[in-house]
Amino acid sequence: MCFGGGGGGPSESENKAAAEQRIAADAERERAATEKAKAKREDVSDAIKRKSESRYGRRGRGRRSLMQTSSGGGFLGRFE
């Protein structure tokens, strides 16, 4: 059982290289996540637009509010 000497851990230059690699990997993951979120947001917007166009013609109604409008419409108005 030898507990002394031998310089067991990684050197400072190895630690620095590993830290730089982690930073680069984190930046790449962040870029990929941002790109995926943007594509998903565009896909959802396109799907909503297609659905409203197919249901209401070219002019579409767009997104509808869940809150009650002045005319009494909206989702919440159904339950009063």
Name the average pLDDT for the chain.
Answer: 76
pTM for this predicted structure: 0.47
* Predicted confidence band of residue 37 (pLDDT cuts 50, 70, 90): very high
pLDDT of 44 higher than 80: yes
- Distance (Å, whole) CA 69 – CA 18: 58
Break the chain into its structural domains and give their ranges: 11-58
Residue at 26: amino acid letter: D
Inform me whether the pLDDT recorded for 40 exceeds 80: yes
Please give the pLDDT value at position 9.
78
Q: What is the mean pLDDT of residues 46-65?
A: 66
Contact (Cβ atoms closer than 8 angstroms) between residue 68 and residue 76 = yes
